[in-house]
């Protein structure tokens, strides 16, 4: 049973290893100025397969975690999931984006969005502590899917023009999700990683205050 409970964490570590292994692959394409599409080399097919496997682990680890932990989430597993997601986004951003034909405008734009994201994360940390750096909202989870599909669409469409418009829409949605996260940090009265949307802040505040009251009551019992 202990092993079963570790399956989500094993999937997260697998995602990290697969993602890190993509770095030399992407660098090889940059150094050799080779196009990263389905018309490219065998290495391109291997790399996109590894990328899709990493994304697949992200899709199933949360569901498995809720089943084996009887609906309970959070703690080390939730933090590891967030870290592995950040590593995947970072590798895709830094090493894959330059391979796209429209990297001239995409990389600077994504850099500004990344700075915005980091700034919001720092604000959340200063306001509510380290557990508030990574928030798993519905919008953020859907963003993960959109980001995951972008390289796949680019690869299999051979860099078609419509993919550029897809990425423009993705950037707009990215700004929306970061802004929602900022509003959540402002409205919440404590740390929370699993708030669904900004519209759930009142319910989440009730839970946070109830948890604080219970902790204070327990502390008072300990002093008597």
Among 97, 131, 165, identify where a domain stops: 97
pLDDT at 132: 62
- The C-alpha atoms of residue 193 and residue 137 are separated, in whole angstroms, by 8
- The C-alpha atoms of residue 64 and residue 95 are separated, in whole angstroms, by 30
Query: Does 203 share its domain with 106?
Result: yes
Query: Does 119 share its domain with 175?
Result: yes
pLDDT at 140: 87
Low-confidence stretches of the chain (pLDDT < 50) are none
pLDDT at 72: 62
154 closest CA partner among 165, 143, 145, 144: 165
Domain span including residue 89: 1-97
**Phi, psi torsion values for 25, nearest 5 degrees:** -65, -50
Query: Does 75 share its domain with 137?
Result: no
Query: Does 88 share its domain with 113?
Result: no
195 closest CA partner among 137, 125, 140, 129: 137
Q: At what angle do helices 42-68 and 2-31 cross, to 10 degrees?
A: 160
Among 38, 71, 97, identify where a domain stops: 97
Query: Does 115 share its domain with 195?
Result: yes
Query: Does 84 share its domain with 149?
Result: no
């Amino acid at each position: 049973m202990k092993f079963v409970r570790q399956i989500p964490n094993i999937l997260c570590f697998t995602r990290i290893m697969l993602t890190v292994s993509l770095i030399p692959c992407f660098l090889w394409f940059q150094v050799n100025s080779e196009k990263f599409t389905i018309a490219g080399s065998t290495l391109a097919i291997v790399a996109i397969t590894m990328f899709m496997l990493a994304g697949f682990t992200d899709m199933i680890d949360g569901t498995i975690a809720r089943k084996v932990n009887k609906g309970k989430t959070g703690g080390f597993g939730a933090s590891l999931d967030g870290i592995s997601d950040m590593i995947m986004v970072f590798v895709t951003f830094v090493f894959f984006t330059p391979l796209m034909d429209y990297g001239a405008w995409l990389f600077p734009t994504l850099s500004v969005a990344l700075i915005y994201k980091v700034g919001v994360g720092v604000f959340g940390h200063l306001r509510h502590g380290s557990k508030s750096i990574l928030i798993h909202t519905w919008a953020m989870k859907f963003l993960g899917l959109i980001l995951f599909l972008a390289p796949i669409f680019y690869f299999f469409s051979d860099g078609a023009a419509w993919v550029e418009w897809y990425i423009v829409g993705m950037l707009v949605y990215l700004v929306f999700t970061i802004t929602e996260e900022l509003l959540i940090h402002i409205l919440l009265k404590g740390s929370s990683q699993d708030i669904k949307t900004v519209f759930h802040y009142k319910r989440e505040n009730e839970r946070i205050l109830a948890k604080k009251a219970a902790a204070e009551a327990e502390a008072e019992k300990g002093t008597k």
